[in-house]
A and B are shown apart, each in its own frame.
Chain A
Amino acid sequence: MSSVHKGAFDSVRDWSHRLAPPWISQVLGRHKRLTLATLFLLALLLPLRADSYQVHILGYIGLFAMMGVGLNVVVGFAGLLDLGYVAFFAIGAYTYALLASPQFGLHIPFWFVIPVAVAIAALAGVLLGIPVLRMRGDYLAIVTLGFGEIIRLVLNNLDPVTRGPQGLSSIDRPSIPLISFTLDTPIHFYYLILIACVLSMFIAGRLENSRVGRAWVAMREDEDAAAAMGVDLIKYKLLAFAIGASFAGFGGVIFAARQGSIFPADFTLMVSINVLALVIIGGMGSIPGVVVGAIILVGLPEVLRDIQQFRMLVFGALLVAMMIFRPEGFISAARQRSEVQRIRELGSVKTTS
């Protein structure tokens, strides 16, 4: 690796480290609770200073962060390159849209649909996982990419159920039963998304630091060695697909409820690529990285709206620059952080316990 980009890049790389330096992860590591609380507070207060359109965008960032956290389980932890991730988002969204809209006259409450949609998305994850169990890397990416397109094409063509390209509309707004409060403004949805995001990150974080997460990372590092340690590869691959998919399914339900109407065109390959890109930009395997990635990838195009026609150009340049100067992402995963710092952390844990 290091021999590939030597020379002229090196000085720029050092500079880039100073710009988005390891201190971010260091601060996150050292004052984890405090940092998280501050960020959460900021996220809580942010919409109060923003107009309704900006809040809408913030909601988008949240939805993408949620998907990023899910895809991070599949790609970052388990090392399975999934390019059809949008399919699970679509499955979640259409599950809610079909169960809570005039399409079939069903109006099942939002809160009941969430577990159903999450379960269906997880099941879809397993179904996708079974045929690709033996595939790795590029081949896996191609098959999953195909899967994403299949789901979109089915939604586009299954007119009697999905109404094809016309999409589904008048989707029910979620309401909170006892106080009969209906969520219908961007701010309401922003807070809903925020809660869902925090929940997703909590779950992903807990999984990462567990027997399950370790098995995933081991599998990513060396499948055969992981199997020799007693890791059931089939089980843990399917588990990664299912759990990753369930985050996207959850996000899809919120998306459908927020938009009020959804179309197959909402679920193109670009969404999968964007989610993957934000995971990579943020730092593969790192949950705080995913949030940073979502802010950059979803927020930046809005900031760049004035130079509309150059947006993708700037994007592409950013991606290329990232790959050259910070291949490990803005906030690298805990394991990749400075070992000295990890030793210090562990030392402090040990003295307190």
Chain B
Amino acid sequence: MAILEAKGVTKRFGGLLAVDAVDFQIDERMIAGLIGPNGAGKTTFFNIVTGVHRPDSGSISFCDRTIKNLKPHRITELGIGRTFQNIRLFASMTALENVLVGQHCRLRSGVVGAIVRDMSTQNEERYAWRRAEELLEFVGLQEKQDFLAKNLPYGDQRRLEIARALATRPKLLLLDEPTAGMNPQETRELTEFIRRLKTELGLSILLIEHDMKLVMGVCDRVTVLDYGVKIAEGTPTEMQRNPRVIEAYLGRTASSQPGVGHGAS
């Protein structure tokens, strides 16, 4: 059953057709990869799904609910969590506080509760702290919960961003280049971690990735974008052999995209 379904999604920025009539579908408990050369419209597609951009045409539904015109915070509430391509943590908050903010849409206490600090608020806070600690433990940051996010090493920041996204209790998790800037060892660990998200938490995951080893390792299906157009879709091995995909990456001009390896844009 499809958890996210996009039909004919199109987005223009002035004269640039960033995403052109893309159909896309992801099923429950599936890891889908979104690949393509730099500027292919992958992140734009993410931003449309998460409500940062509104599509010019087309429809998107999540769990059979249209989410096309919803604001980002509403979409998060419905169950789509995300990370960002260039890590965007709350830099001068601690790791724990970052995860607490992630739980924002699952907590209820408001201004009055905050001031009076009644029983339900206290219980909620205690629960939120415990859950934040659990999530930090899940990503292996339990020792670093009181570090300011900006002082964490790069790999930890990536992990914290995932913990923060998990705190929103997503059904679908969007990861935008999770391995950008990681070394092979960290990438291997992350591959394993993404598999755990699917098996242990039962999440559906959509990831944008340039690291083909990761894509081959975890994705059930891969969608390839080029100049905003979906040019191919299928299993990772199919995509590896698909002539259009190879052309998109290597064939246009001699100088573009020499390797498919690490292309952090």
Given contacts A211-B109, A214-B97, A335-B148, contact A225 B90 (CB under 8 A): yes
Which residue of B is nearest A235, CB measured? B73
Contact of A212 among B52, B111, B168 (CB under 8 A): B111
Interface residues on A, range: 20 to 34
Distance between Cα atoms of A224 and B168 in the complex (Å):
15
| A152 to B: closest C-beta gap in Å | 29
Q: List 22 A-B contacts (CB under 8 A).
A: A207-B115, A211-B109, A211-B110, A211-B114, A215-B101, A217-B90, A218-B93, A218-B104, A221-B90, A221-B92, A224-B88, A225-B90, A226-B101, A229-B73, A229-B104, A229-B168, A230-B104, A231-B101, A231-B104, A335-B93, A335-B148, A339-B146
Which residues from chain B contact A210 at a C-beta distance below 8 Å?
A: 109, 113-114, 121, 125
Query: Which of B28-36, B76-84, B229-237 interfaces with chain A?
Result: B76-84
The A221-246 residues at the B interface (CB cut-off 8 A) are: 221-222, 224-233, 239, 243
Distance between Cα atoms of A107 and B211 in the complex (Å):
74
Which residues from chain B contact A211 at a C-beta distance below 8 Å?
A: 100, 104, 107, 109-110, 114, 124-125, 128
Which residues from chain A contact B89 at a C-beta distance below 8 Å?
A: 221-222, 225
Distance between Cα atoms of A215 and B124 in the complex (Å):
15
A224 near B52 with CB under 8 A, answer yes
| A334 to B: closest C-beta gap in Å | 10
Distance between Cα atoms of A336 and B150 in the complex (Å):
11
Which residues from chain A contact B82 at a C-beta distance below 8 Å?
A: 228
**Number of interface residues, chain B, beta carbon within 8 A:** 44
Distance between Cα atoms of A230 and B165 in the complex (Å):
10
| B143 to A: closest C-beta gap in Å | 10
Given contacts A212-B111, A218-B101, A339-B148, contact A227 B73 (CB under 8 A): yes
Q: Is the interface of A mostly helix, strand, loop or mixed?
A: helix
Residues of A with Cβ closer than 8 Å to B?
203, 206-207, 210-215, 217-218, 221-222, 224-233, 239, 243, 335-336, 339, 342-343, 346
Chain A CB within 8 A of B151 CB: yes
Distance between Cα atoms of A214 and B82 in the complex (Å):
19
Given contact pairs A222-B91, A226-B90, A335-B148, enumerate 13 new A-B contacts (beta carbons under 8 Å): A207-B115, A211-B107, A211-B110, A213-B114, A214-B97, A218-B104, A221-B92, A228-B73, A229-B73, A229-B105, A229-B168, A335-B97, A336-B92
B111 near A335 with CB under 8 A, answer no
A343 near B93 with CB under 8 A, answer no
Distance between Cα atoms of A214 and B132 in the complex (Å):
14
Distance between Cα atoms of A342 and B148 in the complex (Å):
10
Which residue of B is nearest A233, CB measured? B73
The B97-130 residues at the A interface (CB cut-off 8 A) are: 97, 100-102, 104-107, 109-111, 113-115, 117, 121, 124-125, 128
Which residues from chain A contact B164 at a C-beta distance below 8 Å?
A: 229
| A341 to B: closest C-beta gap in Å | 10
Most chain A beta-carbon neighbours within 10 Å: one of B73, B92, B165: B73
Distance between Cα atoms of A233 and B72 in the complex (Å):
10
Chain A CB within 8 A of B157 CB: no
Distance between Cα atoms of A157 and B82 in the complex (Å):
52
Contact of B102 among A203, A213, A229, A239 (CB under 8 A): A229
B76 near A230 with CB under 8 A, answer yes
Which residues from chain B contact A222 at a C-beta distance below 8 Å?
A: 88-91
3 nearest interchain CB pairs?
A: A230-B105, A210-B114, A221-B90
Which residue of A is nearest B102, CB measured? A229
Contact of A207 among B52, B111, B168 (CB under 8 A): B111
Contact of B117 among A206, A228, A230 (CB under 8 A): A206
Given contacts A217-B90, A229-B164, A230-B77, contact A206 B148 (CB under 8 A): no
Chain A CB within 8 A of B227 CB: no
B114 near A227 with CB under 8 A, answer no
B109 near A227 with CB under 8 A, answer no
Which residues from chain B contact A339 at a C-beta distance below 8 Å?
A: 94, 146-148, 151
Produce 1/0 per residue, B157-195, CB < 8 A to A: 000000011011000000000000000000000000000
The B1-60 residues at the A interface (CB cut-off 8 A) are: 50, 52
Distance between Cα atoms of A206 and B81 in the complex (Å):
29
| A13 to B: closest C-beta gap in Å | 19
A225 near B84 with CB under 8 A, answer yes
| A165 to B: closest C-beta gap in Å | 38
Chain A CB within 8 A of B71 CB: yes
Distance between Cα atoms of A239 and B110 in the complex (Å):
11
A227 near B100 with CB under 8 A, answer no
| A50 to B: closest C-beta gap in Å | 32
Which residue of B is nearest A204, CB measured? B115
Most chain B beta-carbon neighbours within 10 Å: one of A203, A214, A222, A231: A214
